[in-house]
Amino acid sequence: MTTVAVREPLATTPPVRPGVLTPFTVFVGRSLRHSLRDPEALLMGIALPTLLMLVFTFVFGGAIGGDSRAYIDYVTPGIILLCAGYGAATTAVAVSRDMTTGTIDRVRTMPVPGVALLVGHTVASLLRNLFSTAVVILVGVLLGFRPAAGPVEWLAAVGLVALWILAITALFAFLGLVAGSAEAASGYGFILLFLPYASSAFVPVATMPSWLRVFAEHQPITPLTESIRALLAGVSPGGDAVAAVLWPLGVLAVALVLTAWRFPRTRSRLVH
């Protein structure tokens, strides 16, 4: 028996497919809205860079360099990277939240690539953190930071910062994917946030005990800080630049491979 029982799709809603880029722009827009409407994220983006600059310049600057003006030139790149770490860490929480609410299920049942959701969080994090970078530099300049970089050096320095933000954001997105909860997701980020303190970001590695020095010289923040510092001072970063590019690319590659493997296997964690 055959009856006309289930109606045909409404004439007003033909089975169109979204453009290839649409899901990505939609989710980037969503994540940016989240950032702008989340008072904590905004605070993180503006107050944290400002406070860190003030603390490092006036509290540590006097003690370490003797002259806080000179120390600003030294410490600004490190603070940029420190803020990038904090800013990127919020991506883990955002991704985790999407995995523990019904959002991922809704996206998975629509004819769009689910990874667009992660791309949205990542691009939003990149923009958010570049904004924080601008805040750090602005506060620095107000406090006496006088970069000697030309347009090419500026471009290269910002490029390195953006690459690093992208790399750790991708890593935090993966952590958000595997963490059992938003709280756990932010907890996992601890190691990454700790890296700048054990690097040449705030004090030269020569002042460190030898075991710490070995670590500091073989982790990404040191070549990144050295390169950005050199570029902003208007000089060539030399050999540090190679490590400063390869580290983020390596971290990014690992994060993308892990995510590509894990994402299709991720279920929403509120099933029952």
Partner 1 sequence: MTYTDEVLVLDDVTKRFGAHTVLDGVSWRIGPGITALLGPNGAGKTTLIRIVSTLEHLDGGRLTVLGHDVVRERRTVQQLLGLTGQHTAVDGMLSGTENLVMVGRLLGLSRLDARRRAGELLDQFDLADAARRRAGTYSGGMRRRLDLAMSLVRAPRVLLLDEPTTGLDPRSRRALWEQVRRLADDGTAVLLTTQYLEEADALADRIAVLDSGRLVAEGTAAELKAGAGGDVVEVLDEHGQPSGALSTDGTAGHVASVLRSLPGTARVQVRRPTLDEVVLQLTGKDAA
| Using rule CB under 8 A, residue 272 touches partner 1 | yes
Binding characters for ligand ADP, 94-133, by CB under 6 A (x = yes):
----------------------------------------
CB of 270 to ligand ADP, least distance (A): 10
As measured in angstroms, the least distance from the Cβ of 261 to ligand ADP is 19
**Cα 122 to the center of its chain, rounded Å:** 7
Site string for partner 1, 22-51 (x = CB under 8 A): xx--x---x--xx--xx-------------
Q: At what angle do helices 39-54 and 68-100 cross, to 10 degrees?
A: 160
Residue, CB closest to ligand ADP:
272
Measured from the CB atom, is 109 or 210 closer to partner 1?
Answer: 109
Cβ atoms 132, 140 nearer than 8 A: no
Told to check if 265 binds partner 1 by CB under 8 A, we report no
Instruction: Fill in the per-residue mask, 241 to 270: x = in contact with ligand ADP (CB under 6 A), - = not in contact.
Output: --------------------------x---
Amino acid identity, position 84: A
Q: Could you tell me the smallest distance in angstroms from the CB atom of residue 237 to ligand ADP?
A: 49
Among 18, 181, 215, 217, binds partner 1 (CB under 8 A): 18
- If DSSP states are collapsed to H, E and C, what string results for 167-224? HHHHHHHHHHHHCCCHHHHHHHCHHHHHHHHHCCCCCCHHHCCHHHHHHHHCCCHHHH
7 binds ligand ADP (CB under 6 A): no
From CA 217, how far away is CA 57, in angstroms rounded?
24
Instruction: List C-alpha distances in Å: 46 to 12, 28, 86, 146, 170.
Output: 46, 21, 12, 21, 22
Assigned token pair, 38: 């989340």
Size of the site for partner 1 (CB under 8 A): 40
Residue from 4, 20, 191, 206 binding partner 1 (CB under 8 A):
4
Long-range contacts of 55-63 (CB under 8 A, 24+ apart): 56/202, 57/143, 60/202
Q: Give the interface segment with partner 1, choosing from 11-19, 176-184, 210-218, 219-227 (CB under 8 A).
A: 11-19
Our CB check for ligand ADP shows the closer of 69 and 106 to be 106
Q: What is the largest CA-CA distance in the chain?
A: 92
Residue 20 makes contact with partner 1 by CB under 8 A = no
Using alpha carbons only, what angle is made at residue 55 by residues 52 and 60, rounded to the nearest 5 degrees?
A: 125
Q: From the list 6, 10, 16, 271, which residue makes contact with ligand ADP (rule: CB under 6 A)?
A: 271
Torsion angle of C-alpha atoms 122, 81, 157, 129, degrees rounded to 10: 40
Binding residues (CB under 8 A) for partner 1: these are 1-10, 13, 15-19, 22-23, 26, 30, 33-34, 37-38, 101-103, 105-112, 267-268, 270-272
